[in-house]
Chain A
């Protein structure tokens, strides 16, 4: 075992933190309050190279490994970038673009990946349905082959980037009788007749990401938009799980460090009973709970990334452990951060309130904590 980062990795992470603090963070609070997606920040992520970090250089990416990609996510969280933007980035780069990168034809990749890497196009993934969340096989959206086209009918729910996406990777059943084996994946582009997005949902947190329903009503897409072969959709969806359990968790780890910075600064300035509240044991205990969680979570996320870089098939047990831990065990330390700020912690101005709201997605998105427990208990 060896747990150190290389000098290049440390320098890269610091560079991302600096960039995010200067270019992104000053815009977060306003957009969160307005529940608006920040197109400019998203474009800046693309310019900096984060959106396409792990894509091949010939397709507009940087060819980075997974650990470096995870470090970028952690750095965004550490800088104080809101969970909405990091979620939008994750849905775009990992759930949509990476699926095209891995499974698309050369033509599909050449056409779409460079624009997704730069942020010129925004991507999303349509998997979850109103009545089919973790139970993917229960999806009702269908894709019927008609000559050189597929006709999609159905609806998708809770789709991050749904209302603003230029490109969607959509899962639908081409052979419903086959269950998982009958699911296929399609590229659906904005403006395709029969494809509409619902209005943004009002959410507890991650408010700068826009989430909506996607509706497919006789939506015809060229047969050339099929990703891979018919019936491979479920496997593709499961591939995205690897990102759900690594890079998408990384900003939560970074948020832990961000909270420590905010809490330490506040505790040093805030005076009660004649001395800074930093002098009180109760304050130090709260700082400790945040730090302990952050260190524990960091180890888990790095491990998943490292395994992925080794080319190992996803260890579902380890991945579910990481997702479960960060989802469930983050509540108490983040709550401590709010409590440390007292009344200010309940207000938007000090950001911990936003981090608290954003963090509540961790035990839900990408497979709920209960689903992770189900996975683990079956693998034990």
Chain B
């Protein structure tokens, strides 16, 4: 065992901390490109350890997402969903053509392309995704509807996960989704979290063969996407928790109430302690889940689900409790906390919804220790 971050990860975090985050890059203004480009130039999306393929790299990615979220909460979620997820998929499953066309721009942060994966009736059961791709005209026609897609700004493309039959599936990259034929994008809101969430409907949407990642065995692709998506959300959740804790603590140290710092008042000090305890616990569990996912993905699913539940629910609790410490500042002057609280609510329904994750954990417990008949 070793509970210290590696030298590599510490150095990467140091570089990230020293990076100037463009002030206008919060996704609330709908333009994630300057932040994506700045991070891309810093090697944030790989190659190397940032691909998350090694256990240490996976921890590094989670830690980096947490740190980025702490700096630009909604913006970080946008670029993770809009850049890194597809970059990892292309790197893992892509053939020569999509690698040549997509990997460079994605890693440079010059291409925004979210992955449209989940469906309304199968949020946590990728095996039963309905969206289908049919070969035709030197490419594929994709038909189906995706939900809960984080939509940063005006993306260059969207990668739609679809099955091709015979147990195979792929990611079908639809370029210029705002104007392409056969695809419609509908905004569905997002708790006022500063992140646009959309429904993507495809009806015989044509995708050129060169823009297909795969086809590959469906369980491998869907399993990886599920895992990466959920791990990303762990990092974001922990970033929100850290952001809220940091802001609340700073306020509690600075604000003077009845002649002494707010933190010296027992109610505030104790509440701050609870926030920090939860933050540390969530961080450690997320690192362990990421490490397990890279070490043995097939065995890590239950632990990732546990982390998914704990980190998300912690983010929701902590952002709300932090607002109480910050008082009126938490609701208004310190907009970071209120924005983080809104975003934390959104996290519970993205990726594998928290309630679905709980059921999956329960199933895993029953498989381990229950009666097979049940």
Q: Which residues of A contact B (CB under 8 A)?
A: 1-5, 67, 260-261, 263-265, 267-269, 276, 278-279, 281, 283-292, 295-296, 299-300, 302-303, 306-307, 317-318, 320-321, 324-325, 328, 370, 372-378, 380
Interchain residue pairs with CB less than 8 A apart (15):
A2-B1, A2-B2, A260-B368, A268-B373, A276-B371, A276-B374, A281-B359, A288-B357, A292-B306, A292-B361, A296-B306, A307-B3, A325-B277, A377-B263, A380-B249
Q: Which of A281, A284, A296, A302 contacts B310 (CB 8 A)?
A: A296
A interface: dominant SS: helix
Question: Given that A2-B1, A2-B55, A299-B288 are known contacts, is A267 also in contact with B273, CB under 8 Å in the complex?
Answer: no
CA gap between A296 and B55 in the complex, in Å: 19
State how many angstroms separate the Cβ of A60 from the closest Cβ of chain B: 27
Q: Which of B249, B292, B361 contacts A287 (CB 8 A)?
A: B361
Contact of B1 among A283, A306, A328, A374 (CB under 8 A): A306
Q: A377-B263, A380-B273 are in contact. Are A291 and B306 (CB under 8 A)?
A: yes
Measured as residues with beta carbon below 8 angstroms from the partner, the interface class of chain B is 35 or more
Are B276 and A321 within 8 A (Cβ)? yes
Is B1 a contact partner of A67 (Cβ separation < 8 A)?
Answer: yes
**Alpha-carbon separation in the docked complex, A257 to B179 (Å):** 54
Q: Which chain B residues lie closer than 8 Å to A268 at the CB level? A: 366, 370-371, 373-374
CB pair A284 B291 closer than 8 Å: no
Residues of A within 8 A of B4 (CB): 1
Residues in chain A near residue B2, CB distance under 8 A: 1-2, 306
A369 to B: closest C-beta gap in Å: 9
Is there contact, CB below 8 Å, between A269 and B273?
Answer: no
Q: Which A residue's beta carbon lies closest to that of B354?
A: A288
Of all chain A residues, the one with the shortest Cβ separation from B286 is A299
Residue of A nearest to B58 (CB): A1
Contact B365 A292 (CB under 8 A): no
Contact partner of B272 (CB less than 8 A), chosen from A2, A302, A303, A377, is A377
A325 near B281 with CB under 8 A, answer: yes
How many Å lie between the Cα of A317 and that of B278 in the bound state?
12
A295–B373 contact, CB under 8 A?
Answer: no
Instruction: Point out the residues of chain B lying under 8 angstroms from A261, CB to CB.
Output: 369
CB distance from A72 to the nearest CB of B (A): 16
Which residue of the partner chain, among B280, B287, B366, contacts A267 with CB atoms under 8 Å? B366
CB of A328, distance to nearest CB on chain B (Å): 8
Q: Is the interface of B mostly helix, strand, loop or mixed?
A: helix
List residues of B (1-42) whose CB comes within 8 Å of A's CBs.
1-6, 9
B interface vs A, CB < 8 Å? 1-6, 9, 55-56, 59, 249, 263, 269-270, 272-274, 276-278, 280-282, 284-285, 287-288, 291-292, 295, 302-303, 305-307, 309-310, 355, 357-359, 361-366, 368-371, 373-374
Across the interface, name the chain B residue whose C-beta is closest to A370: B270
Minimum C-beta distance from A221 to chain B (A): 40
Given contacts A288-B309, A373-B273, are A278 and B370 in contact (CB under 8 A)? Answer: yes
A287: chain B residues within 8 A (beta carbon): 361-362, 365-366
Q: Are B281 and A1 in contact (CB under 8 A)?
A: no
Bound-complex Cα distance A292 to B288 (A):
13
Knowing that A284-B359, A325-B281 touch, tell me 10 more A-B residue pairs with CB under 8 angstroms: A1-B55, A2-B2, A2-B55, A268-B370, A284-B361, A288-B358, A291-B306, A295-B288, A295-B303, A324-B277
Contact A285 B281 (CB under 8 A): no
Is the pair A380, B5 in contact by a Cβ cutoff of 8 Å?
no
CB atoms of A374 and B370 under 8 A apart: no
A374 to B5, CA, bound (A): 28
CA distance A299 to B272 in the complex (A): 21
Task: Name which residue of chain A comes closest to B245, CB basis.
Answer: A380
Q: Which of A276, A281, A303, A375 contacts B284 (CB 8 A)?
A: A303
Cβ–Cβ contact B56 & A1, under 8 A: yes
Query: How far is B310's CA from A296's CA once the two chains are assembled, in angstroms?
Result: 8
Min CB gap B272→A, angstroms: 6
Chain A residues whose C-beta falls within 8 Å of the C-beta of B357 in the assembled complex: 288
Bound state CA distance, A293 and B292, in angstroms?
A: 18
Q: Which residues of chain B are within 8 angstroms of A307 by Cβ–Cβ distance?
A: 3
Of B269, B274, B281, which contacts A300 at CB under 8 A?
B281
List of B residues within 8 angstroms of A296 by Cβ? 281-282, 284-285, 306, 310
Query: Please, which residues of chain B bring their CB within 8 A of the CB of A260?
Result: 365, 368-369
* Docked CA distance A372–B59 (Å): 29
A67, A278, A281, A372: the one contacting B273 at CB < 8 Å is A372
Write the chain A residue with the least CB distance to B6.
Answer: A1
Q: Which residue of the partner chain, among A4, A318, A372, contacts B280 with CB atoms under 8 Å?
A: A318
